[in-house]
Amino acid sequence: MAARSIGSVTISFGLVAIPVKLYSATQTSSAISFNLLHKGCGSRLRQQYVCQKDGSIVERDDMVKGYEFAKDQYVTFEPQEIKALEEAGTHAIEIAEFVPIESVDPVYYDKTYYLAPDKGGAKPYALLTEALKQTQRCAIGRWAARGKAYLVMLRPVGDRLTLQQLHFAADVRPAAEIDIPKQEVKPAELTLAQQLINQQASEKFEPTAYTDELRARIQAAIEKKVEGHQISVSDFPAEGGGKVIDLMEALRASLEKADAARASTAQLGPRRAPKRAEESQPAKPSRRAGKR
């Protein structure tokens, strides 16, 4: 099924305007979620808000939003006041600068969108995409939508542009906050670790080679339940934790395991393409060959 656009914006590239359509790059339709039910009758439960002071149930018409500026002390805001404070939505992404792609740490990455040229935007869209590829840079800009301000990055992926929402610096914890104890790395250990990395190295990342095994187990359990079968915890054994052993021994054992797997693959030989039906059948003798 063809992807559906979720909106339109215009990219401001100097004095050039590029109308584009937005497409969500990810989907959550495959996610499995559970609902809360009443254990007695199986009916779904409804969420209610209860006042912590008198224990009464509060209806939505009696709710107001507030900000806690001190312990149990709040300032309240009316809906129209919050609306006035929100960022006014725009249909434009203003490019502020161009930076090397590798200079943007992936820790800043948030939601991703695909961009496609809208009516009249094919030529400048292709121009910006190729220029970014040739210069190995990405575009940093601002975008306002849904009452919020966003920092965004435009980066080329093949012959397409991708819009990457970025976290603001205030939203990302500095890595220096995590205390990492200093450890000495011995040359022999480093050599074995590098050998293990080289044995398991690939030319590029293939995302289709990985599947969500947890989701498959949950889906299998759901199907068994729907069919009226009971499931047991033993049907889905949990993996045991790794044993703490000598680092050098662990590296050597890992290399030996990788060598054995590679040798086993080599013995099987390269996969051959299946023969066609006419090739797999024995050839029929020629009638002319039997004549003298």
Enumerate residues 6+ apart whose C-beta is below 8 A from 102: none
Instruction: State residue 240's pLDDT score.
Output: 54
Confidence class of residue 127 from pLDDT cuts 50, 70 and 90? Answer: very high
List the one residue out of 114, 102, 108 whose CA is nearest residue 154: 114
Average pLDDT estimate for 222-231: 84
- The predicted pLDDT at position 135 comes to 95
pLDDT for res 225: 82
pLDDT band at 3 (very low <50, low <70, confident <90, very high): confident
> Apex CA 286: angle with CA 284 and CA 287, to 5°?
125
At 277, is the pLDDT very low, low, confident or very high (cuts 50, 70, 90)? very low
pLDDT value at residue 66 = 92
Give the type of residue at 178. Answer: I
At 236, the amino acid letter reads: F
- How many angstroms separate the CA atoms of 9 and 14, rounded? 16
The partner residues of 166 in beta bridges, in order of sequence, read: 109, 151
Q: What dihedral do alpha carbons 61, 67, 70, 75 form, nearest 10°?
A: -70
Region 270-279: mean pLDDT is 44
Q: Which amino acid makes up residue 180?
A: I
Residue 283 pLDDT: 45
Q: What is the pLDDT of residue 284?
A: 46
Res. 258: pLDDT tops 90? no
Answer yes or no: is pLDDT of 88 > 90: no
Confidence of residue 234 (pLDDT cuts 50, 70, 90): low
Q: Is the pLDDT of residue 280 over 80?
A: no
pLDDT band at 266 (very low <50, low <70, confident <90, very high): low
111/275: higher pLDDT: 111
Which amino acid, one-letter code, is at 278? Answer: E
* Average pLDDT value for residue range 79-100: 83
- Report the alpha-carbon distance of residue 142 to residue 26 in Å, rounded: 21
From residue 137, alpha-carbon distances to 110, 128, 134, 168 in Å are 19, 11, 8, 20
Residue corresponding to tokens 């889905």? 236
- Which of residues 69 and 85 earns the better pLDDT score? 69
Taking the C-alpha atoms of residue 269 and residue 266, their distance in angstroms, rounded to an integer, is 5
The domains located in the chain, with CATH, are 7-25+86-170 (2.40.290.10)
Residue 262 pLDDT class (50, 70, 90 cuts): confident
In DSSP terms, 117 is beta-bridged to 20
Are the beta carbons of 14 and 23 closer than 8 angstroms? no
Confidence (pLDDT) at 102: 93
Residue 11: name the closest of 153, 168, 157 by CA. Answer: 153
- Closest by CA position to 128, among listed 24, 22, 25, 16: 16
For residue 164, pLDDT beyond 90 = yes
What are the tens digits of pLDDT across the range 39-78? 999 999 988 899 988 989 999 889 999 999 999 899 999 8
The three-state secondary structure class of 22 is strand
Task: Specify the range with the lowest mean pLDDT, choosing from 146-155, 185-194, 270-279.
Answer: 270-279
Mean pLDDT of 150-169: 94
In the predicted model, is pLDDT for residue 23 greater than 60? yes
